[in-house]
A and B are shown apart, each in its own frame.
Chain A
Amino acid sequence: MRIDDHPILSFPETDTVTFTYEGKEIAAKKGETIAAALHNEGIIELRRSGDKQRPRGLFCAIGKCSSCLMKVDGVPNVRTCITMASEGMRVEKQNGFPELPREVNDLKPGSIDTAEPDLLVVGGGPAGLKSGLVAAEAGADVIIVDENPFLGGQLIKQTHKFFGSSEQEAGIRGVDIGEELVERVERHKNIKSMTSTSSVGIYEDTVGVYKNMSHFQKINPRKTIIATGATEDMITFPNNDLPGIYGAGGVQTLMNVYGVKPGEKVVMVGAGNVGLIVSYQLLQAGVDVEAIVEIAPRIGGYFVHAAKLRRFGVPILTGHRVLEVEGKERVEKVKVAETNGSGGIVQGSVVDYEVDILALAVGLSPSYKLLGHAGCELQFQPQLGGYVPTRNERMETTVGGLYVAGDAAGIEEATSALLEGTIAGADVGLKIGEGGKAEEDLINDSQEKLSRLRAGPFYRDLRESLKEVGV
């Protein structure tokens, strides 16, 4: 179902494209992914799992998990959450492990292009875009690749106003910051951006990227910045794979990027900032938030976010957890209980919520795999979300010429991602011999802002972890 009345966002009418799903015609908006169009039609079971034939739907909505794989024009395992619907496309459900396609249309091993930019940025979110811009401003010629159909990363769905100690972006909505960044990147003559393009590996000097099945490119950059962001975490409970269980970011993508209402009633898990903010956004999209369930004894997010939700009468149940989800083909009921502090639950505290969505805001893990492939030293730092690379204070990893910025360097927020991107981009500018005093100033200034952002007792553990990885 489409959201037609939203307090912040507007979803203008666009041309329609028609594709088929299991032979049935589906109308999609132009510029919409297959998964979003199917959701709009109420089709949320996208495939059956390989081993046990369990129903599966969308989870992360940004190409990071494999929950939404479908067969598109005969090709199996297509990530429908990042693949645009197009006219005449044939979409089919996958039941179990797919068969290898029998009819092979005219797919010839194509020629392989090469490119040799000064800088390759992997990831077009805040850190990546900012780093590319700063390096390009210093004279570097830059390629930015992202496997999503749009640039902007997670900024394009952040409808809330940023605040905090950073003077720079406070009071501005993420979507607006994103829009401005994307515009500047697209206008810049030194930057070439490639969307819907996956980076498959970093081999010695070469990064391999593919745009689609017949177009592969080898990029030999002088410097590389990895800004691949993060993946949403999952928790364990019976039936945690049912369609209707989404990452909080996945829900955000559906409603804030595509204007598709994810469902009617939701239970949110996690009362950190993400859980609180997305709950509020769900209300804005016209979804009833039945409860926010938090296993910790207190709310992890900022007080103002929680207060806003309470004004709308949303209960925030601290010291509670999800016991299980019930439902045949999709979420029908969520069972929640109060924890007794020693691993069990308080007897008689089980409450059933009849909802069609369960959203999980239970943490993020840095997307470190390309860094690992390149041979960077990685450390496990729970405070930073998981595996992160060792780096110096200018964001260069233990592999020379390879930088990291944003959530891939450790889970923080968009503001720190922008600052880390600035530092990495400016250092690249200096190293390729183009930058000068302006870049040194940018680095000093951003480092200062980062330390102010990370000041205070709330961030003590984060600061300790950052010290260990080299900042």
Chain B
Amino acid sequence: MINRDVVIIGGGSTGLSIGYFLSRLGVKDITILEKSYVGSGSTGRCGTGIRAQFGDEPTIRLMKRSEQLWNELGNELSFNFRQTGYLYLHYSEEELRQYKEMKELQNSLGVPTKLLSPEEAKDRCELIDISNVKGASFNPEDGKAHPFDVVTGFKEYFQKDELELQERTPVTGIQLKNDGKLKIINTPEESYKTEILVNAAGGWAPKIGDLMGIEIPVEPYKHQAIITEPFEEGSIEPVVISMKHENAYLTQTERGGIIGGIGTREDETSTYDMRETLEFEERISRAFGTMIPSLKYARILKHWAGYYAMSPDGNPLLGEYKVPGHYLAAGFSGHGYMMAPSVGEALAEVVSGGKTDLPLDYYDPERIDRGELREAALQMG
């Protein structure tokens, strides 16, 4: 039995970031448990995008801070946070009006979003078909980072700092003692005793809840993505968004492929199934080919599925939940990767008994049980 100050379950971007910021605060007696390898869940399957263009104040603030931290982490952990901007294409006056309002809110919180004419949008990415585009929103501070470089950066930091990160180590049981204040976490090889348990298991967070006998209001929804064969660097610099074309997002990775996805259908239900579908390839081909006609010639190299781990109101669940010393960092509803730095910083501060400037009350998981649902954060893909 190993005693720890903190045990984190989940070696994705969220769990790794919490561990990293704990260590920066001097809390080094920690263990991260990952059932497969780092980034093997939703992190490595994500669309790589990072943006502060949201429609509500708490999320904009969270993401504004996150983008600052993405920059710092990039330098510290040797990966590229490429601030190529997010380019939202608008195809109607209605959409323009709605995004103008959002832009003003974003500007008031220090996010430098601009409205662009169709021609200015084309300057950002000349392959876009602007014949039906009425305008665009663009925040130059948004961008993208390669998930595998990110998790590798964290992992190397943990190795250097001699923090315990256990990959291929599933949690097989959790016993609660002293009214839950003490938790004994079992894995096939070893058991851990801790007062503070952080559940950062993404789509699998409810399964960790099951082991403690509590219900966690997170449901995994299958979300698919593709990457094409590699093309010349600079083909599609920004992350290009079209809500009109099935909430599509796409951009070029550092390796040259065009990565992206589209929204889940409204009739889809929660599932742990991860099989990709041909129907998705048809829909994404039409959406991408209409936005950027050149992409009709791009072959899909890989196609995979991951989860959007949905909370009931589409906002994260951050904070202590149901069992004393059990912290949730889950239910990101498709935004976990981009939020990981600021969530990691805030959770580390709270867990270690400090304070955070970020609006964690807004994300208090108990809100769900109190019936105080928030307005859903702006979602695409």
A74 to chain B, nearest CB (A): 8
CB distance from A224 to the nearest CB of B (A): 14
- Stretch of A24-32, A100-108, A152-160, A390-398 contacting B (4+ beta carbons < 8 Å): A100-108
Instruction: Give the Cβ gap from A213 to chain B, nearest Cβ, in Å.
Output: 7
B297/A107 in contact, CB under 8 A: yes
A104 partner, pick from B235, B285, B297, beta carbons under 8 A: B297
Contact of B232 among A99, A104, A203, A204 (CB under 8 A): A99
Question: Cα distance A100–B298 when bound, in Å?
Answer: 8
How near does chain A come to B7, taking the closest CB pair, in angstroms? 34
Is the CB of B282 closer than 8 A to any CB of chain A?
A: yes
Contacting pair B285 A203 (CB below 8 A): no
Inter-chain contacts of B296 with A (CB < 8 A) = 104, 107, 109, 213
Chain A residues with CB below 8 A from B282, complex form: 112
Residue of B nearest to A375 (CB): B275
Chain B 213-257 per-residue mask, 1 if CB under 8 angstroms from chain A, else 0? 000000000000000011111011000000000000000000010
Hey, what's the 0/1 contact readout for A348-376 against B, CB within 8 Å counting as 1?
00000000000000000000000000010
Question: Which chain B residue shows the least CB distance to A210?
Answer: B299
Interface set, chain A 205-225, CB cutoff 8 A to B: 206, 208, 213, 218
Kindly state whether residue B349 has any CB partner on chain A within 8 Å. Answer: no
Q: Is A96 an interface residue (CB 8 A)?
A: yes
Q: How many A-B residue pairs have CB under 8 A?
A: 63
Q: Which residues of B contact A104 (CB under 8 A)?
A: 293-294, 296-297
Task: Say yes or no for A75: interface residue by CB 8 A criterion.
Answer: yes
Contacts of B230 in A (CB 8 A): 50, 97
Whether A204 contacts B277 in the complex (CB less than 8 A), given A50-B256, A100-B127, A112-B282, comes out as yes
Determine whether the beta carbon of A96 is less than 8 Å from that of B286: no
Residues of B within 8 A of A96 (CB): 232
CB of A201 within 8 A of CB of B303, answer: yes
Using Cβ atoms and an 8 Å threshold, which residues of chain B touch A201? Answer: 276, 278, 281, 303
Q: Which of A186-201 contact B (CB under 8 A)?
A: 200-201
Contact of A109 among B229, B232, B285, B299 (CB under 8 A): B285
Residue B27 CB within 8 A of the other chain? no
Contacts of B292 in A (CB 8 A): 100
- The winner among B231, B293, B294 for most chain A CB atoms within 10 A is B231
B209 within 8 A of A: no
Return A463 CB to nearest CB of chain B, in Å.
Answer: 34
CA distance A213 to B299 in the complex (A): 9
Q: In chain B, what residue has the closest Cβ to A102? A: B294
> Using Cβ atoms and an 8 Å threshold, which residues of chain A touch B232?
96-100
Q: How far is the CA of A375 from the CA of B303 in the complex (A)?
A: 14
Contacting residues, chain A, for B276 (C-beta < 8 A): 201, 203
Q: Inside 8 A of B275's CB, which chain A residues have their CB?
A: 203-204, 375
Task: Flag if A97 contacts B233 (CB, 8 Å).
Answer: yes
Cross-chain contact B256 with A208 (CB below 8 angstroms): no
A218 touches B278 (CB 8 A): yes
- Report if A284 contacts B (CB, 8 A): no
Q: Contact check, B286 vs A109: say whether CB atoms are below 8 A apart.
A: yes
Taking a contact as CB atoms under 8 Å apart, the answer to whether B235 and A99 are in contact is yes
Tell me the B253-289 residues at the A interface (CB within 8 Å): 256, 275-278, 281-282, 285-286, 289
When chains A and B are docked, how far (Å) is the Cα of A97 from the Cα of B293? 19
Question: Which single residue of chain B is at the shortest CB-CB distance from A205?
Answer: B278
Q: Closest approach, in angstroms, between the C-beta of A207 and any C-beta of chain B?
A: 9
Residues in A with CB closer than 8 Å to B277 are 203-204
Question: By CB atoms of chain A within 10 A, which of B285, B298, B300 has the most?
Answer: B298
Determine which of B285, B294, B303 lies in contact with A100 in the assembled complex, contact meaning CB atoms within 8 Å. Answer: B294
Indicate whether B295 reaches chain A with its CB closer than 8 angstroms.
yes
**Cα–Cα, bound, A99→B231 (Å):** 6
A97, B277: Cα distance in complex, Å: 28
* Least distance between B119 CB and chain A CB atoms (Å): 17
Q: Which residues of B contact A98 (CB under 8 A)?
A: 231-232
Min distance, Cβ A261 to any Cβ of chain B, angstroms: 32
CB distance from A145 to the nearest CB of B (A): 16
Contact of A203 among B278, B293, B297, B300 (CB under 8 A): B278
Is the Cβ of A208 less than 8 Å from the Cβ of B298?
no
Among B256, B293, B297, the one with the most A-chain Cβ atoms within 10 Å of its Cβ is B297
A375 and B276 CA atoms in complex are apart in Å by 11
In this assembly, does A76 line the interface, its C-beta being within 8 Å of a C-beta of chain B? Answer: yes
In the assembly, what is the distance between CA of A204 and CA of B281, in Å? Answer: 14
Is A77 an interface residue, CB under 8 A from the partner? Answer: yes
Residues of chain A within 8 A (CB-CB) of B289 are 109
CB-CB under 8 A for A76 and B294, given A203-B276, A208-B281, A218-B278: no
| Complex contact A97–B231 (CB within 8 A) | yes
Q: Mark B41-53, 1 if CB is under 8 A from A, else 0.
A: 0000000000000
Cβ of A218: which chain B residues have Cβ within 8 Å of it? 278
Minimal beta-carbon separation of A397 from chain B (angstroms): 16
* A328 to B236 alpha-carbon distance, docked (Å): 34
Q: How far is the CA of A98 from the CA of B282 in the complex (A)?
A: 24
Q: Which of B282-331 contact A (CB under 8 A)?
A: 282, 285-286, 289, 292-300, 303
The reply to whether B278 and A213 form a contact with Cβ atoms under 8 Å apart is: no
Cross-chain contact A208 with B297 (CB below 8 angstroms):
no
Distance (Å) between the CB of B296 and the closest chain A CB?
A: 5
- Once the chains bind, are B299 and A77 in contact (CB under 8 Å)? yes
CA distance A77 to B299 in the complex (A): 9
Smallest distance from the beta carbon of B229 to chain A beta carbons, Å?
6
User: Could you say which residues of chain A place their CB within 8 Å of the CB of B231?
Assistant: 76, 97-100
Whether the Cβ atoms of A208 and B127 lie closer than 8 Å is no
Task: Tell me how far the C-beta of A399 lies from the nearest C-beta in chain B, rounded to whole angstroms.
Answer: 12
A39-77 CB contacts (< 8 Å) to partner B:
50, 75-77
The residue among B229, B236, B292, B300 with the most chain A CB atoms within 10 A of its own CB is: B229
CB<8 Å pairs between A and B, sample of 12: A76-B297, A97-B230, A99-B232, A100-B232, A100-B236, A100-B297, A104-B293, A107-B296, A109-B286, A109-B289, A109-B296, A213-B296
Other A-B pairs beyond A100-B297, A213-B297, 6, CB < 8 Å: A50-B256, A76-B231, A98-B232, A100-B235, A201-B276, A206-B278
Chain A residues engaging chain B, CB cutoff 8 angstroms: 50, 75-77, 96-102, 104, 107, 109, 112, 200-201, 203-204, 206, 208, 213, 218, 375
Which 9 A-B residue pairs are closest in the complex by CB-CB distance? Answer: A100-B294, A203-B278, A99-B232, A104-B293, A97-B232, A97-B230, A97-B256, A107-B296, A100-B235
